[in-house]
Chain A
Amino acid sequence: MKLRRESHPLVVVGAGPAGLCAALEAAEAGLPPLVLDEGSRGGGQLVKQIHRFFGSREHGAGKRGFQIAEELVSGCLGKGVEIRLGHKVLGFFPDGRLLVDGDEGVFVLQPGATILATGAVEKSFPFPGWTLPGVMGAGAAQTLVNQHRVMPGKRALMVGAGNVGLIVAYQLLQAGVEVAGVIEVNRAVGGYAVHAGRLRREGVPILLRHRLRAAEGKKEVESVLVEDMERGTWKRFSVDTLCLAVGMAPQAELAAMRGCRLVYLSELGGFLPWHDRAMRTDRPGVYVAGDLAGVEEASVAMDEGRLAGLAAALDAGVLDPGEAAERMEEVMDRLELLRGGPFGEPRRKAKERLCSMTGLVTGGAGRKAGIRGRTGRR
């Protein structure tokens, strides 16, 4: 029997905030897409976020993450978007076809255009004891407590005082896990002061200039060794869980496989597909949005998704160019504001640098600017 084939005018990979907003926007413009996601619920990372979100009304701010997810999903369904959950994309081939594993079997999907919104993956790094059970990414711990209602352990230490570390440490407390502390190598908390504040008022110390040195234990984590970098001394925390919140990196495998040019921008999490202001990559008919296009806030992911949806609809000829320009302008202005303030500034500049790398597509000029072309060849 032959490999089954399907085609669709527009396919969105990833049903997180970026993918769903892209789908909504494209559907509204008359190009309802097929959305694929490997998860069992639509909403991506939002489904395990129990805290209220930042941003403004357009991003569901003030609501809890899972509520925003539900709204986006029902919004999409109401506009004729088909969301197929439990569908893994196994490959995005250079000829533009997708290989998909879903409940209907493995099949080849030929998209007219593709929006990649594959999100980010937690960064990890090796250290003595890192393979012991009990060592996990902060996101994994968050999934356990908020989605599966399982406590990862009784007592945890969090590494990294960025927003993820601070939020997840708080949520571990909410789930009944004791949090021994949050350690951070830098001299200042990386996340929002309000998140640090929520944690501190619960009695959780945030230890700056402290470095993780080892997880210890026979069969699982029993304690964690930490170096006080200022004093040069070492401390041992008795914990059974060690959570790492040391950053996220764009999940760019599918983009790389497709042949999209990748660019390295540390402010945005590492290697990410080059794209223009309307989220078009250097491959025709391939768009990106959300954390894949640079790790930022969910609110940014939503607006980037909207841009990608508009661009795909415009390029497919279903959206009037004037209307598209107007809508895009509005979203771009909002993005500009979202990236304001001291937290957004480095990301705004990195995005600006990225979008000004037009020379990159033809090669050459970009190299000096610290751009790296990589087509995913080995």
Chain B
Amino acid sequence: MPEVMSSEVVVIGGGVIGAAIAYYLCREGAEVMIVEEDDLASGASGACDGFVSLQTKAPGPHLRLAMESAQLFPELAEDLDVDIEYRRCGGLLLATSQEQMKELRGRAKALKAEGLEVEILAAGDVKDFLPEVGKEVKGGSYCPLDARVNPISLTLGLAKKAQEMGATILRGCKVENIVVTNNRVREVHTTAGSIHSRRVVCAAGVGSNQIGKMIIVDVPVLPQRGQILVTESREPVLKTLVAGAEYLGTKANIQALMPADAESAKLGLGFTAEQTASGNLLLGSTREFVGFDNQTTPEAMNAIARNALRYLPWVEDMDVIRSFAGLRPCSPDGLPILGTIKGIRGFYLATGHSGDGICLAPVTGVTISELVLDGETSLDIAPFSLYRFK
């Protein structure tokens, strides 16, 4: 390893966001180096579900970003050499009370107004999508454009393709400092040596706050733990994505959709279920602020299982074979932080995707690559500026 390296662009972080940015930069012919502290997909991208869900996004810029991203997936699935298991399977959002139904109706209306296809389902209609549904379920909404993908394959596929197009990937390489002179990024010091570069993208997920400190910028990203249960593999039983309205409540902080009991509220419990291509059910999930602790807990394992039985009683006889927890890079409002930094040229933020990193990776890749190479973006990313918090 040479002690002094150079690259047109340095991307800090080998998660799905960093890999997507590197991929789109390489497609434009840029010279890219990914600096990854551990390994590709070793953080949140390797410890999450595969939801590419549109109806759970907030109407407005968030939804527009997600819809743009959703359109990019089919092409990615074609272009990448790795099977990313992309499938437009549709998604259900289930209500367990009339209050929740009311909220979902209002929301569906707002989503439709923005051009997203969403259908309101009565309790009886839900049964068309699921083998059996819990007695509590009062109905829900269905979005045919919701999809699922294998997040690890997606990350590895993007990185692999980027590498084939010339990107360098430094694994096990920690960024120690970023040198800024005359208001411009010049150099990235890493454990593998220095990299001369005038353009640095921070896609460091939960490590972004630490990276920000190196250039004296407060990047308000906190690790939010999400726990997931994995069942044994079964024949296809779950065609669509399934989420409970409380998932949306805890995600977007909607009072009417918050879990009823205190314990669930404390865990930020919201139901999610999907069946992966390998046949396992991934059952989620929690939203907890516990620092960098990514251990699963007895309380959450029990609560997730209990919640799953509420919505999908037929999962009862399935074996849980493991649990895992990911640390989502959570911004104060749950929306990503995209864009430049005032007073420092050549530094770009692409972080804080909260629970939407997988879904928003393609659009983030395209947008940041435009920003880095052209200085402007085709999508308006002003709503995602770091300075919205000030």
Contacts and interface: CB of A to CB of B under 8 A. Distances in A.
A interface, how many residues as a size bin?
10 to 19
Interface SS of chain A: loop
A3 B302 contact: yes
Interface string B291-316: 00001011101110010000000000
B36 to A, nearest CB: 16
B295 A93 contact: yes
B99 interface: no
Contact of A99 (B263, B295, B298, B303): B298
A93 B323 CA distance: 13
Contacts of A106: 302
A91 interface: yes
Contacts of A99: 298, 301
A97 interface: yes
B295 A3 contact: no
B286 to A, nearest CB: 14
B295 A94 contact: yes
Contacts of A2: 263
| Chain B at the A interface: SS class | helix
A313 to B, nearest CB: 27
Interface in B297-347: 297-299, 301-303, 306
A108 B298 CA distance: 7
A93 B297 contact: yes
Contacts, number: 18
Contacts of A94: 295
Interface in B252-304: 263, 295, 297-299, 301-303
A97 B295 contact: no
B266 to A, nearest CB: 12
Contacts of A1: 306
Nearest to B305: A106
B293 to A, nearest CB: 8
Contact of A91 (B263, B298, B303, B306): B298
Contacts of B301: 91, 99
A97 B263 contact: no
Nearest to B323: A91
* Residue from B299, B301, B302, B303 with most neighbouring chain A CB atoms (10 Å): B302
A289 to B, nearest CB: 25
Contacts of A91: 298, 301
Nearest to B297: A93
A99 B302 CA distance: 10
Given A93-B295, A106-B302, 10 more contacts: A2-B263, A3-B298, A3-B299, A3-B303, A91-B301, A93-B297, A97-B298, A99-B298, A108-B298, A108-B299
12 contacts: A1-B306, A2-B263, A3-B299, A3-B302, A3-B303, A91-B298, A91-B301, A93-B298, A99-B298, A99-B301, A108-B298, A108-B299
Interface of B: 263, 295, 297-299, 301-303, 306
Interface of A: 1-3, 91, 93-94, 97, 99, 106, 108
Nearest first, the 7 closest Cβ-Cβ pairs linking A and B are: A99-B298, A3-B302, A108-B298, A94-B295, A3-B299, A3-B298, A2-B263
